[in-house]
């Protein structure tokens, strides 16, 4: 497959660097479908075209990348966000915003390729699951309605006080329950990590998804 990419960075040289690197990516391949120098241009592009992934800088004039990521997440079918920044201190916050990866500048081709591979796996969540697993669902009460969310669509589960956030590629759900119960039930598909383990969540070395 070939990923459709939106590059958002206020520096023209940084955008050019990413465009060159993306041209060298092969597994998966990627194409820069649009570029944006700020949040306004990015949202205009997102309303005009469908993207698989947004490579997003954090520190930009006006609306910063973190705020833009929240806006992107609220879209009906949001693209995956990969932060690309010179500042490493925002990594934990980035993963709380459900970014799939966090790259620091200068970006290396190998590291960018790894991030794109995560996006590819995210877009094909059921490929590595058995037929029985792919049919499993989580039953979620949402605004008076009962929804069945396929387990194969779940990216991760996150403890939020007395509730659990269930995140898929398209939206988030709130589930009343505990991670311990889900861990017992679905331990073959998920592994549990601590929030501070940002490197573990980002490295992509684990085959299983995370609690």
> What pLDDT score was predicted for residue 170?
79
Global pTM?
0.61
Mean pLDDT for the stretch of residues 75-97: 83
Highest CATH level, class, for 131-210: mainly beta
Least confident window among 10-24, 144-158, 162-176: 144-158
Least confident window among 1-5, 38-42, 106-110, 169-173: 169-173
Positive or negative torsion for Cα 45, 100, 98, 179: positive
> What pLDDT score was predicted for residue 144?
62
Mean pLDDT for the stretch of residues 97-104: 85
> What pLDDT score was predicted for residue 57?
95
Q: 127 or 155, which is more confident?
A: 155
User: Could you write out the DSSP letters of every residue in 101-165?
Assistant: EEEESSPPHHHHHHHHHHHHHHHSTTTTS-HHHHH-EEEEEETTEEEEEEGGGEEEEEEETTEEE
Predicted confidence (pLDDT) at residue 177 exceeds the cutoff of 80: no
Predicted confidence (pLDDT) at residue 15 exceeds the cutoff of 90: yes
Tell me the CATH architecture of domain 2-123. Answer: 3-Layer(aba) Sandwich (3.40)
Comparing C-alpha atoms, which of 56, 87, 91 is closest to residue 73? 56
For the chain, which residues make up each domain, given as ranges? 2-123, 131-210
């Amino acid at each position: 497959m070939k990923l459709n990419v939106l590059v958002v960075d206020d520096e023209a040289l940084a955008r050019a660097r990413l465009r060159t690197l993306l041209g060298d990516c092969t597994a998966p391949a990627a194409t820069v479908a649009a570029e944006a120098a700020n949040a306004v241009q990015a949202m205009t592009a997102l309303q005009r075209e469908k993207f698989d992934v947004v490579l997003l800088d954090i520190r930009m004039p006006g609306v910063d990348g973190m705020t833009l990521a929240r806006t992107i997440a609220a879209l009906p079918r949001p693209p995956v966000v990969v932060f690309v920044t010179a500042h490493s201190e925002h990594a934990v916050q980035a993963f709380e915003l459900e970014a799939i990866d966090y790259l620091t500048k200068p970006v290396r081709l190998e590291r960018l390729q790894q991030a794109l591979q995560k996006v590819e796996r995210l877009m094909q969540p059921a490929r590595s699951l058995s037929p029985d697993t792919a049919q499993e669902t989580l039953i979620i009460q949402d605004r008076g309605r009962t929804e069945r969310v396929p387990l194969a669509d779940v990216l991760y589960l996150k403890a939020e006080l007395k509730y659990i956030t269930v995140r898929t590629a398209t939206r988030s759900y709130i589930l009343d329950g505990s991670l311990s119960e889900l861990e017992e039930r679905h331990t073959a598909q998920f592994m549990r990590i601590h929030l501070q383990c940002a490197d573990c969540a980002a490295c992509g070395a684990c085959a299983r998804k995370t609690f």
